[in-house]
Amino acid sequence: MVSQQTIDIVKSTAPVLKKNGEQITTRMYEIMFQNHPEVREQFSMAAQADGSQPARLATAVYSYANQIDNLPALKSMVEKIVCRHVQTHVTPEQYPIVGESLLQAMKDVLGEAATEEVMAAWSEAYQALSEVFIHREDEIYMGEERKQQLVHL
């Protein structure tokens, strides 16, 4: 759970994210693929090239900022993302890679508006959201594992 201060700060950034979201997420992918080329194969390069992947992520980040205090409103979006993560075999160890890249991209794009306070709030918010994804993905992976065990009985 995130603090009320973090909720307030993250919600206050929603308009900036709506305006600059695609620029931030495009920069995030540049940083991530440069620093961690091993994750590149999990992404559609066609969706990178045509901008649809950064656009989808920008929408998700904006939605989270806007609804951070009402996570049930994001359930459908979270489920869709989780399904994609399971299809592409995302691991819990990859979340810090994405988080670091996203935070650096926010700093790069937002400049002075990315104050220490804003970045600390987004760090906390990202960590909380990543835990939601990891937990739900683990549930699906465990369910798939159980299905495989039943098939082999």
Q: How many other C-beta atoms can be found within 10 angstroms of the C-beta atom of residue 75?
A: 11
CA-CA distance, 150 to 112, in Å (whole number)?
55
Q: Which of 29, 64, 95, 126 is catalytic?
A: 95
Amino acid identity at 17 = L
Catalytic site residue 29?
no
Token pair listed for 90: 């995302």
Token pair listed for 104: 């650096």
The one-character DSSP state at 72 is: G
CB 74 within 8 A of CB 81: no
Amino acid identity at 142 = M
Q: Catalytic residue numbers?
A: 95, 137
